[in-house]
Structure 1
Amino acid sequence: MERAQPVRGGLTADGAGLAGDRVVAVGSPGRVLVAAAARALRGEDCADLGTPTVLSRFTAVPEPVRRAAAARAAGRTALTAEQTAEVDAARVARWIVEQYPRRRYPGVVLGSPHGAAAHLAVALGVPWLPAAFETTVRWHRGAVDRPAAALEHGAVLAARLLAGNPDVHVRQVHCPASRGAQAGATVSLAVRWQCLPAAYARFLAERVSAGAPVLLVRDARTWPVHDVGRGHSFQAGSPGSGLEPVDFHPDSPALRQVLRCAGGDGARWEPAEVTTGQGYAEHGVEAGFELAVGQWAGRRGHRLHRVLVDRPEALSAAVADLYRAWLRRAGKTGDRLVVECGRLLDPWQVVRAGLVPYWCENATRRSVDAVEWWLAGSEAFSSVDVLPESPGLRSPALAGLPQWLAVAAFGRRRRAVDRTAARGYPMAAVPTRRATEVLRAQPYDLPVPPHLPAATAVQALRDGAGGQGLLVC
């Protein structure tokens, strides 16, 4: 195993670490959601978020060429191994809160990355703050089909990062089913705060109104986890892949198909030994963070509401229903739906157009099945616009384009799947700003409704929680 280099004492403590926008992975869910929510609170859309990637020019080339391009692109934006020692989690927290307008807010939403949580925050007129951030680090001579080697290399990187950040936990995720060839070119690290960052505490004290509610959204999905120790844990695969843990076994046909598409070989898959059984997956919230938020709220007279999400689609459905009722109380129809996916969302344009948003975590069959079931049990919408995000890889868990078309077919008068997003699906990804371009074409429905009272939102979430994989307490 490569030996970790000594870390210069005080490097991150004195603010000399890397800037937050260099550390947080480009395109990671938390980064996109903070950017989208902050813009919405400023009355701006996401037209400046994301540019067409180099991979959009490789839609018709052989798969090996496309995989090599994906690996190179991932490596260019990732940190070097040496730079992991310069990661300053405190500076990342400051970078996050500085994106929000300087004013008082009637509450705050914190926790796991979820598009519906960002939409909820915008409806409440409050910020959304993540409980973790994702960073990627280059892995020279890496391989998508060698999770044990990924763990060995990642242990060195995690040790360097943790040496300067003792108040975080590092969850390493090796998932070729959701990251494709990038899983062999970079190591993905979810850095989860184990306490309330000082920048968050100052932000809450200075910007959140006295007695305002605090909502903590926690992803409660579990996954087999290997506890490496000393603040580092490892998981092979991810709930977001659309596959089950058993699918990451060497004998799994699904795994062999995924590895072939990612440029690997199923016969070489050597899983890291799992010694601790099930744990919360990468988007979970550390117990120390949750405890610190509760203690902060209790000391300052804020009511803490916990929203535990066992299935992402449960929160998406609950927030969509909440939006519909909110719009109708404001005298709007609440009759037009936009189905967003992954990074293709724009909370401000949704509010400006008076749309009901339903957010799919990704383009897996599981996510798309869920929105179909929700639509089948809901009052019909006059229009349904669908924004399918191409994952940039092939997987047996992905929904086909016909299934996305079936979602749009629930619209009574308008049924639209964005042609640009669909044209290269599932290989050619489009940037977040594509969602803005589509939603700008929707007719205005102004004025924007008054902010949703937090008590109303919490009660609506409770009412919609029964049997849906959602717990509000």
Structure 2
Amino acid sequence: MPEIPQGWAADDAGTQAPEPEHVVAPDSLARVLLAAASRALRREDCADLGRQPTLSRFRRTPQPVRRLAVARAGSRAAMSVPRAGEIDAERVARWMVDHYRARWYPGMVIGSPHGAAVHLATALGVPWLPSAFEVTVQWPKGCVDNPVGALAQGAQVAARIIAGNPGVGIRQVHDPAVRGVLAGSTVSLVVRWRGLPGPYRRFLGNHLAPGAPVLLLRDARTWPALDSGPGHTFQVGSPASGLAPADFLPASKVLDQLLRGLGGDPARWELPGAVSPPGYAEHGVEPGFEASLRDWVQGRGGPLHRILAPRPEALSAAVADAYRGWLRSAGKSGNRCVVECGRLLDPWQVVRAGLVPYWCENASRRSVAGAEWWLAGSSPFTSVDVLPESPGMRSPALAGLPQWLAVASFGSRRRAVDRVAARGYPLTPMPTRRATEVLRGQPYDLPTPPPLRVVDALAALRDSGSPQGLLVC
């Protein structure tokens, strides 16, 4: 095991593994999606998900003061280095499956975090589980313009996590375009299971109906990464930023603008070394995880269906089309749409109101343009409600409010961008419950349809997604 660097007090460590709710990053997408998915299966909305994102704090203070305050708040919410070394990934998996009630389920959706996957699971009446979880760890002397230092800090932490959890791999992401000043006070580690964890196996064995299908979603986006050590890889930037890998090179004007806006110095930006050819990005599924899931499902006599998404927009469009067909087959109009964004979603309220959900990964121009293209190619909707999630910072890749208004303009009778979310855009992220508050205002469309059959869902995904590169097999 690597030696503990100076200032890392080993005696600060606890005597037992930290609680999973203190391990999984509170602002991480997978954690919010898990909470929303489990509530939807209980026919509950997300009104209790009221955590204010860290980047939403201190919004009335001057920018230099706000940046420092947000960085300190993020560090306080992150794990200390000694405690991060005591993470028990199996315990985290058990905490995740415990979100769901003990009963038989007619299937399962599992894999990369994606809001449309959660909507699909809700329509099918099955759980959704992630194939990884995100951890943020304190970086006391960090700065947003120092990816070399971030790698050094992350490598030490990753080595300790892997030593105690040999069944995981870790992808570290240093992305100031997504994490803002938090990228200078904490390091972000995506802990990916390399095989199906024990609690998942037990949950499937005890609660998956015999012969029931499992759907595995794989985010197929690629990004350059550096092999730092056994089980640890490091990437600068990410597909979620809305930028290209070239935008994170030292000579990039986009990077210059981004770092100066975060109080960093572009002249100090230096990449840690040569990277490998692009492979799957941080939300990709480990090959061993897929292989062990396939072996388990086939051993039980059930089918495993893989869904490979080259872009988040492809799955969002396909699931939205599947919802429309599902609603219409139940005698509903399917002519009211809600465009959600990031953590602003509520699967149960969508079903209760009979809405067609389209999910944007974030507020990047690329992501919002995907919603525009889908709406432009769809038969008209009478109403389009839009929930733009503020990223909590300004970014060169950010969609402006006019682009969000253009999305809403596809409604023939009702065109609405949530005023509360728009008022704080782009510096004030809203908690997930804001989506619930907005969707509760939609008229009820009861009774809810009977659960969507897996065979019909797969057919709809193939029909709608294939032209966009979505692979369903």
Task: Give 1:259's aligned amino acid.
Answer: L
Residue in 2 that maps onto 1:127: 127
Residue in 2 that maps onto 1:303: 303
Aligned residues: 468
Q: CA deviation at 1:3?
A: 3.2
Counterparts in 2 of 1:406 and 1:339: CA distance versus 1, 3 Å? same
Residue in 1 that maps onto 2:420: 420
Residue in 2 that maps onto 1:222: 222
Aligned counterparts of 2:304 and 2:53: Cα–Cα separation in 1: 40
Residue in 1 that maps onto 2:88: 88
Q: Is the 8 A contact 1:108 1:126 kept in 2?
A: yes
Aligned counterparts of 2:384 and 2:160: Cα–Cα separation in 1: 48
Residue in 1 that maps onto 2:200: 200
- Three-state SS of the structure 2 residue aligned to 1:318 is helix
> Structure 2-normalised TM-score?
0.97
Q: CA deviation at 1:68?
A: 1.2
Counterparts in 2 of 1:4 and 1:287: CA distance versus 1, 3 Å? farther
Q: CA deviation at 1:63?
A: 1.3
| Deviation beyond 6 Å, 4+ runs, structure 1 | 5-8
Q: CA deviation at 1:226?
A: 0.2
Aligned counterparts of 1:38 and 1:16: Cα–Cα separation in 2: 28
The reply on whether 1:348 has 2:354 as its aligned counterpart is: no
Residue in 1 that maps onto 2:245: 245
Residue in 2 that maps onto 1:461: 461
Q: Is the 8 A contact 2:58 2:70 kept in 1?
A: no
Q: CA deviation at 1:395?
A: 0.6
Q: CA deviation at 1:57?
A: 5.4
Report 1:29-428 matches (<5 A).
29-53=29-53, 56=56, 58-428=58-428
Task: Give 2:225's aligned amino acid.
Answer: V
> Structure 1-normalised TM-score?
0.97
Q: CA deviation at 1:53?
A: 4.9
Stretch of structure 1 that moved more, 189-198 or 262-271: 262-271
- Three-state SS of the structure 1 residue aligned to 2:411 is coil
Aligned counterparts of 1:219 and 1:421: Cα–Cα separation in 2: 28
- Three-state SS of the structure 2 residue aligned to 1:384 is strand
Q: CA deviation at 1:274?
A: 2.7
Q: CA deviation at 1:61?
A: 2.6
- Three-state SS of the structure 2 residue aligned to 1:466 is helix
Give me the identity figure in percent. Answer: 65
Q: CA deviation at 1:275?
A: 3.4
Runs of 5+ consecutive residues of structure 2 not aligned to the other structure = none
Task: Give 2:88's aligned amino acid.
Answer: D
Q: Is the 8 A contact 1:180 1:261 kept in 2?
A: no
Counterparts in 2 of 1:360 and 1:54: CA distance versus 1, 3 Å? closer
- Three-state SS of the structure 1 residue aligned to 2:145 is coil
Task: Give 1:218's aligned amino acid.
Answer: R
Aligned counterparts of 2:166 and 2:196: Cα–Cα separation in 1: 13
Stretch of structure 1 that moved more, 433-442 or 55-64: 55-64
Q: CA deviation at 1:269?
A: 0.5
Task: Give 1:161's aligned amino acid.
Answer: I
Task: Give 2:220's aligned amino acid.
Answer: A
Q: Is the 8 A contact 1:382 1:414 kept in 2?
A: yes
Q: CA deviation at 1:428?
A: 0.7
CA deviation map 1:253-281 (0-9, x unaligned): 10011111122111110011133221110
Q: CA deviation at 1:54?
A: 6.6
Residue in 2 that maps onto 1:23: 23
Task: Give 1:399's aligned amino acid.
Answer: A
